[in-house]
Amino acid sequence: MKKSVTVIMLLGLFLVASYGIAVAAEAGAPAAPAAGLDPIVKACIAIAAGIGLGIAALGGALGQGKAIASALDGIGRNPGAAGKIMTPMILGLAMIESLVIYSLVVSLLLFFKLG
């Protein structure tokens, strides 16, 4: 368990560091209009936006399914705790769904950058 948490934390740290490097490199470079992009690059951006949204939707659906299954299992074991389980479950589902919506926004930003 500790090993998997350590790996996840290191991956998160790597992602944060790589984002900082990418933003720093992007800040110095002049912004190029999308009209100057190669058609193959435009196609790759469109495909990446679609695949990214699909992966986010899949992850959100799996997370929501697991959350609902666990909540219903807890309610089945202790029906008196249904009120205490439902509110955090609904909040958790809203947070999971917000991550999918963020992915949709990023995909739309990439897609509209092409046009």
**Domain assignment of residue 10, given as a range:** 1-31
Whether 52 and 99 map to the same domain: the answer is yes
Whether 87 and 106 map to the same domain: the answer is yes
pLDDT digits (tens, 9 = 90+) for 24-57: 555 555 555 556 778 888 888 888 888 988 999 9
Whether 59 and 103 map to the same domain: the answer is yes
Task: Say how far apart CA 51 and CA 55 lie, in whole Å.
Answer: 6
pLDDT at position 62 is 94
CA 63 from centroid of its chain's CA atoms = 11
Whether 41 and 65 map to the same domain: the answer is yes
Domain count, the chain: 2
Whether 82 and 42 map to the same domain: the answer is yes
Q: What is the DSSP string of the chain?
A: -HHHHHHHHHHHHHHHHHHHHHHHHHHHSPPPPGGGS-HHHHHHHHHHHHHHHHHHHHHHHHHHHHHHHHHHHHHHH-GGGHHHHHHHHHHHHHHHHHHHHHHHHHHHHHHHHH-
Whether 72 and 46 map to the same domain: the answer is yes
Structure tokens that stand for 109 in this block: 């930003």
Whether 66 and 100 map to the same domain: the answer is yes
CATH number of residue 100's parent domain:
1.20.20.10
Whether 10 and 54 map to the same domain: the answer is no
pLDDT digits (tens, 9 = 90+) for 65-115: 999 999 999 999 999 999 999 999 999 999 999 999 999 998 888 888 876
